[in-house]
Amino acid sequence: MEQEKEINARESIVLINEMIERAQSNFRKGSGNSMIFWGCAVSITAILVFILLQVLDKPYLAFHGWWLMAPAFVLESLIRKKQPEAHAKTHIDTIISMTWSSCLFFILLFLAVVFAFALILDDWHVYLLITPVILLALGMSQFVTAKAFRFRYYMYGAMTLWVGALLCVAVTLLTRSVSYQFLVLALCMIFGFVITGILQNKNAAEKCSNP
Amino acid sequence: MFEPLNPLLHSQLRLAIMSLLISVEEADFPYLKKQTDATSGNLSVQIDKLSEAGYITIEKTFRGKKPRTICRITPKGIKAFDAYVQALKGYLK
């Protein structure tokens, strides 16, 4: 594009429209990486916790497996910093980022409330709520993302997570055990996060090659 | 009687930059370069002109060890862009 090229009024309007359209279709290559990373991290940890629940003499120690999420946060932020792509932040990006941040705060506060009640009531049954409620919260954030980006695979991801929450109730009823909830969680993260992230990357790569 | 078009905005590259920045909260230099297909030199000069006019702000930061230039449109820039579009409408009637 030349800096001082003469343009008429119609060309100006065409140029403005073209640039606004380009900015609005702000899908970047690798934009699904974060979703793939978290899908893999949570599903691997959930399977690990499930196995530990079966093999440990003191099954409650299995829940310490979730501490693996702490290094996962550090690793993810390091990966994000290394992304060299040209970047623009749209208003929708900010809303989506805030939605996922509030989801994370909700989950952390919810865990604190559940553990507090478990201590106060001296009853482990409240732990049964953890996985389904987390799946509901993740599904809600996924739903907002789907609507904002108009990307239907996010909608399928949200539905997978919500169905997973109901499935947690079903497996708990059938098995009378909390452990199978972790298998449901692992499956939901694979179908709701990993596959959705892969499809998002594929979609972004197509859009970047055919702008 | 046609309203005169703002000469600072009535240039292909500067108008492209402003149109991109009005649609986003912020954009970095490589993004603007990629979307406008401009050379780094041209883009840099035009960004400076828009900044001198107070239409955009330029923030120089670092991402890791790499320098990063982030551009944002200012309220003055939004007003000027809006006035430019209103004036354009008169030409198209």
Residue A180 has pLDDT above 90, yes or no: yes
**What's the pLDDT score for residue A1?**
59
Helix intervals (H) in A122-178: 130-149, 152-175
| A157 HSE (CA, 13 A, CB side) | 30
Interface of A with B (CB under 8 A): 1-5, 7-13, 15-16, 18-20, 22-24, 26, 81-82, 84-91, 93-94
Interface predicted TM-score (ipTM): 0.86
Q: Is B6 on the interface with A (CB under 8 A)?
A: no
* The residue type at B46: Q
Q: Mind listing the pLDDT tens digit for each residue in A84-119?
A: 566 888 888 889 889 999 999 999 999 999 999 999
* Size of chain B in residues: 93
Helix (H, G, I), strand (E, B) or coil at B71: strand
* Partner-chain residue, chosen from A7, A19, A87, that has the shortest CB–CB distance to B19: A19
Give the tokens for residue A53: 């629940």
Question: Which residues on B lie below 8 Å from A19 (Cβ)?
Answer: 16, 19-20, 23, 35-36
Q: pTM value? A: 0.81
Q: Mind listing the pLDDT tens digit for each residue in A10-60?
A: 888 888 988 888 887 666 667 788 899 999 999 999 999 999 988 888 888
CB contacts < 8 A (A, B): 100
Question: CA A203, A207, A209: angle at the middle one, nearest 5?
Answer: 120
Q: Residue A92: closest CA among chain B residues belongs to which residue?
A: B24
CA distance A82 to B42: 28
Q: Is B14 on the interface with A (CB under 8 A)?
A: yes
CA distance A19 to A34: 27
Q: Mean pLDDT over residues A59-77, rounded?
A: 87
Q: Where on the phi/psi map is residue B39: left (φ > 0), alpha (ψ -120 to 50), or beta?
A: beta
Question: Which residues on A lie below 8 Å from B25 (Cβ)?
Answer: 89-91, 93-94
Residue B68 has pLDDT above 90, yes or no: no
Give the tokens for residue A33: 């990486």
Q: Which residues contact A135 (CB under 8 A, 6 or more apart)?
A: A161, A162, A164, A165, A168, A185, A188
* A68 DSSP assignment: G
